[in-house]
Structure 1
Amino acid sequence: MSLFIRCIFCLAIVSGCCVTVVRAETQSPRWLSDTAQVTRLLGIAGKKTGIGETDSAEYYIRKAGKLAAGIKSPKSQIKYFAYYANFLFDRLRYQEALDVSKEQLKVSRQVNDLKSAANAYNNMAIQYGSLGQLETASKCLIQALKISEQTHDLLNQRKFYNNLATIFLDLNDQKNSLFYASKSYELARKLKDTMQLARSLTNLALSEVISGRYDRAISYQQLQLDIAKRKGYYDLVMDASVNLGETYIRKKEYPKALAQFAEAEKVLQKNPDEDYKMYIHNGFASAYYHLGNYRLAKAHLDRMFEQAKMYMPKIDLKNLYRLAAEIHEKLNDPEKGLALWKKYNDLNDSIISANTQKAIHEAEIRYQTNVKEKAIAQQKLLISNKNLEIQKKDQYILVSIMIIVLLLSISVIIFLIYKNKNQVVQLSLLKAQIHPHFLFNTLNNLYALSLSKSDESPAVIMGLSKILRYMLYECNAPKVSLQKEIDIIEQYISLEKIRYHNRLEVNMDINGDLESQQITPLLILPLVENAFKHGISKLVDNGWIKIETQLKQSKLIFKISNNKLAEAEFKEKQSRFGNIGLLNIKRRLKILYRGRHQLRIIDEDELFMVIMKISL
């Protein structure tokens, strides 16, 4: 099972926001300027926050915001926005904090305050990350990094690198998380700042954890804990304690993990914090689960579960759902366990989808390309100079070059052979992916029929067995008759008609001698599945599907269209499980029919159409 580990996100606060509190609170001294009044009000809010009067603190923060807007002072407005965003984030009000940070960015751009704009981007990234929107978070952080490089702001660069490492930790990307965590740590050492050094150690240690180097991670966490205790950094003491306990769980040293969480709980008693309380009980629950004490694990889970559902960042809540599901299964409560597994899967798919990971990595690659442009230009210049030198060499060097070219040619041939083998393996994996995907969809239909105690369930099972026989025994060949592929589609449609009854109209128009041509098996079926699952299944009634198959000589045109919900409604009811079928087909077509196929997808307001053309 995956374990929860607390990552550090570093919020950026505009310098000068946290001020000492002046004597009076209710009446402003006349000698203070308007901008000083803003600072004074934020100082009062800080005092109120410190004694737990958060409602009163927010009143003074809002009052400072109104004053800053009234005097039209961008500097005061930026100070207010940064302070308020941090206040809201600490209260776990992520969406409100995000809205405030967007206003900070807007004002910062208007007055060309690059440092404040970078801080706003950083804060937005943290808030998007807490809301589970990792792709948008990564884009904001890359913008912040670009600005900090322009301004040569090493302190903020360290912070932004650390936060980017956190995103890659959430994606379980060992290489990139370690790369950016190391850059953050190196900058902290360069700055000779103990606080920054201690903060950088968190993600550096966690990168070692997901790489399986637990002893190295523990050494970093112990160092961080020592620094935090010596300097009195309470939040870092808690972070290091919780993360150290989780690392011991990964290392299967459960008694040490329990002892570490107990130490963290003692610190928490002196400095109560609901956020850390959730993480500590989560750690206890995980450790007791691995020790087989499921009732005690559930007891700790119950002490924080409801609060976690409301306030825990989605990336952490996902792992909590998984732990809770496993605990309930061990306690012989499969119904509750199944419900929690569904929540885990829904949340996991919404946060870490394939498209999200791809978009984040593409953004990161674009950033790295930007950074390295100068280095690449210098390398090209060096290569050009070397080419001039080579041209001046005698025939012996030319012979050497010919030998090198020959060796390179052999290497290319070997690479192409390996690439071909790799494509065969990839095709096998893609084909294997279709089977469970189809089976999952069909079993869902069968489950729905069984709930209604339908007499048509046996017919569904028989139809399913015919399709599975085709998948298991006839699809092992590289190609099958096009007629067989269409026959199996008709069998699948008959199963779906049992489920939808009068809600569905299916029209098929088939032209050409299908027996005369062969096609890669299971290439068309996922398109039909897609029409049912992502189109028709969302409609209440009046659903229709039209399938047109035209074969002229060796050219196949397959067209499938269906009606669907209007775009606004479709987004609300859209499945979180992604669209495996279309992605699978695109990859297989690219490998099997490279240069010999066209795939066009038309997605309009109430119509979805796929047109596939293949030269067989």
Structure 2
Amino acid sequence: MISIEKKYLSYYMAIILFIGASIGMIHYKQLLENSPKAVYETYFLIFQVLFFAVIGYLLISWVFKLIRNYRLLKNEKIEAELRLLKSKIDPHFFFNTLNNLYGLAIAKSDKTAEVIQKLSEIMRYTIYEGEKNQTPLKSEINYLKEYIDIQKIRYQKNVDIQFKINVLDDSILVAPLLFIMLVENAFKHGIESLTEDAFVHISIFQKEHMVTFEVNNNFDSKPEMSRGLGLKNLRKRLEYLYPKRHTLFLEKDKSIYRAKITLLTK
């Protein structure tokens, strides 16, 4: 009750002043009508100024309250949209990995336990770290490594998969699950569409407050690629999380696709 009273104390005082100013104006207005004296007129003007000052205060407070509530609702809406965008990470990888895992289990492969362990780490990171607003860059890199390692096990054909890391400070914070969509696309629309000479080259570079993530892959130019929804979600997340502090570069040249994200973490 004490906290509530403190919160509304200014409003209670304003209402009391409003009532007092109204009574004072009425009282000295009546006195002026019966006996127009300068002192009554002065008091009437004082109460009149107080009356309009209180009304002004209440109006301004009401407007600021509306603005504050609007901002809170807007922030809640953005948070809800971000949670929804995170939940739209392509499940294609999980389904394919489970199918491959089934094949490894049938063949009694020594890699079965390794794939299970890596898949559990990926799912743990997606579920728990993905809920956070920020995570250390080291955690995001480890997550990508696990994903890439599984892809190397999945593809039996000759595939050139590289992940180059040039990071000076892996403790800086970044939004989780920003880079994975570009990597997923590289495998889904690149390697899976090719029968030979497929490659995915991934690199991450960090210096001071700038992080650059790049993915280059080749693809079969005949099938029509569909990357629109994932990229749309990525753009929205970048706009929400790094307004005016990011760039997203996408380029398709014949059979090569290039994607690059640059983030300013501060």
What TM-score do you get using the length of structure 2 for normalisation?
Answer: 0.70
Given that 1:550 and 1:556 are in contact with CA atoms closer than 8 Å, whether structure 2 keeps it comes out as yes
Instruction: Say whether residues 1:553 and 2:219 are aligned partners.
Output: no
Which of the numbers 170, 187, 190 marks the counterpart of 1:532?
A: 187
One-letter amino acid of the structure 2 residue matched with residue 563 of structure 1: N
Q: CA deviation at 1:580?
A: 4.3
Q: CA deviation at 1:404?
A: 6.0
- Report the CA distance shift for 1:595/1:465 in structure 2 as closer, same or farther (over 3 A): same
RCO (CA 8 Å, sep 6+): is it higher in 1 or 2? 2
Aligned residue in 2 for 1:584? 233
Aligned residue in 2 for 1:430? 85
Aligned residue in 1 for 2:251? 602
Q: Which secondary structure does the structure 2 equivalent of 1:463 belong to?
A: helix
Q: Which secondary structure does the structure 2 equivalent of 1:548 belong to?
A: strand
Q: Take 1:483 and 1:510, find their aligned partners in 2: how far apart are those partners?
A: 11
Higher strand residue share: 2
- Report the CA distance shift for 1:433/1:473 in structure 2 as closer, same or farther (over 3 A): same
Q: Take 2:95 and 2:195, find their aligned partners in 1: how far apart are those partners?
A: 21
CA RMSD of aligned residues (A): 2.7
What TM-score do you get using the length of structure 1 for normalisation?
Answer: 0.32
Q: Which secondary structure does the structure 2 equivalent of 1:594 belong to?
A: coil
Q: CA deviation at 1:538?
A: 0.8
One-letter amino acid of the structure 1 residue matched with residue 171 of structure 2: S
Given that 1:530 and 1:582 are in contact with CA atoms closer than 8 Å, whether structure 2 keeps it comes out as no
Which of the numbers 74, 78, 83 marks the counterpart of 1:419?
A: 74
Q: CA deviation at 1:579?
A: 4.9
One-letter amino acid of the structure 1 residue matched with residue 259 of structure 2: V
Given that 1:544 and 1:563 are in contact with CA atoms closer than 8 Å, whether structure 2 keeps it comes out as yes
One-letter amino acid of the structure 1 residue matched with residue 94 of structure 2: T
Aligned residue in 2 for 1:461? 116
Aligned residue in 2 for 1:570? 223
Aligned residue in 1 for 2:134? 479
Q: Take 2:216 and 2:262, find their aligned partners in 1: how far apart are those partners?
A: 15
One-letter amino acid of the structure 2 residue matched with residue 522 of structure 1: L
Please, which runs of 5 or more residues in structure 2 have no aligned partner? 1-51
Q: CA deviation at 1:592?
A: 0.9
Q: Which secondary structure does the structure 1 equivalent of 2:155 belong to?
A: helix
One-letter amino acid of the structure 1 residue matched with residue 192 of structure 2: S
Aligned residue in 2 for 1:133? none
One-letter amino acid of the structure 1 residue matched with residue 97 of structure 2: N
Larger Rg: 2
Q: Take 2:248 and 2:98, find their aligned partners in 1: how far apart are those partners?
A: 31
Given that 1:481 and 1:514 are in contact with CA atoms closer than 8 Å, whether structure 2 keeps it comes out as no
The percent identity for this pair of structures is: 29
Given that 1:503 and 1:540 are in contact with CA atoms closer than 8 Å, whether structure 2 keeps it comes out as no
Please, which runs of 5 or more residues in structure 1 have no aligned partner? 1-397
Given that 2:169 and 2:208 are in contact with CA atoms closer than 8 Å, whether structure 1 keeps it comes out as no
Given that 2:210 and 2:264 are in contact with CA atoms closer than 8 Å, whether structure 1 keeps it comes out as yes
One-letter amino acid of the structure 1 residue matched with residue 205 of structure 2: Q
Q: Take 1:447 and 1:502, find their aligned partners in 2: how far apart are those partners?
A: 17
Q: Which secondary structure does the structure 1 equivalent of 2:156 belong to?
A: helix
What is the CA deviation profile of residues 242-277 of structure 1, one whole-angstrom value per residue up to 9, with x for unaligned ones? xxxxxxxxxxxxxxxxxxxxxxxxxxxxxxxxxxxx
Q: Take 1:413 and 1:595, find their aligned partners in 2: how far apart are those partners?
A: 23
Q: Take 1:583 and 1:559, find their aligned partners in 2: how far apart are those partners?
A: 18
Given that 2:135 and 2:175 are in contact with CA atoms closer than 8 Å, whether structure 1 keeps it comes out as yes
What aligned pairs does 1:159-308 form with structure 2 within 5 A after superposition? none
Q: Take 2:243 and 2:194, find their aligned partners in 1: how far apart are those partners?
A: 36
- Report the CA distance shift for 1:516/1:451 in structure 2 as closer, same or farther (over 3 A): closer
One-letter amino acid of the structure 1 residue matched with residue 95 of structure 2: L
Count residues with an aligned counterpart: 210
Q: Take 1:546 and 1:514, find their aligned partners in 2: how far apart are those partners?
A: 22
One-letter amino acid of the structure 1 residue matched with residue 252 of structure 2: D
Higher helix residue share: 1
What is the CA deviation profile of residues 434-473 of structure 1, one whole-angstrom value per residue up to 9, with x for unaligned ones? 2xx34x4222233156358452444322221121122233
Given that 1:446 and 1:457 are in contact with CA atoms closer than 8 Å, whether structure 2 keeps it comes out as no
Which of the numbers 511, 514, 537 marks the counterpart of 2:166?
A: 511
Q: Take 1:418 and 1:548, find their aligned partners in 2: how far apart are those partners?
A: 38
Aligned residue in 2 for 1:612? 261
Q: Take 1:612 and 1:527, find their aligned partners in 2: how far apart are those partners?
A: 9
Which of the numbers 557, 576, 593 marks the counterpart of 2:242?
A: 593
Q: CA deviation at 1:501?
A: 2.7
- Report the CA distance shift for 1:465/1:580 in structure 2 as closer, same or farther (over 3 A): farther
Q: Take 1:477 and 1:495, find their aligned partners in 2: how far apart are those partners?
A: 24
Q: Take 1:507 and 1:553, find their aligned partners in 2: how far apart are those partners?
A: 24
Q: CA deviation at 1:477?
A: 2.9
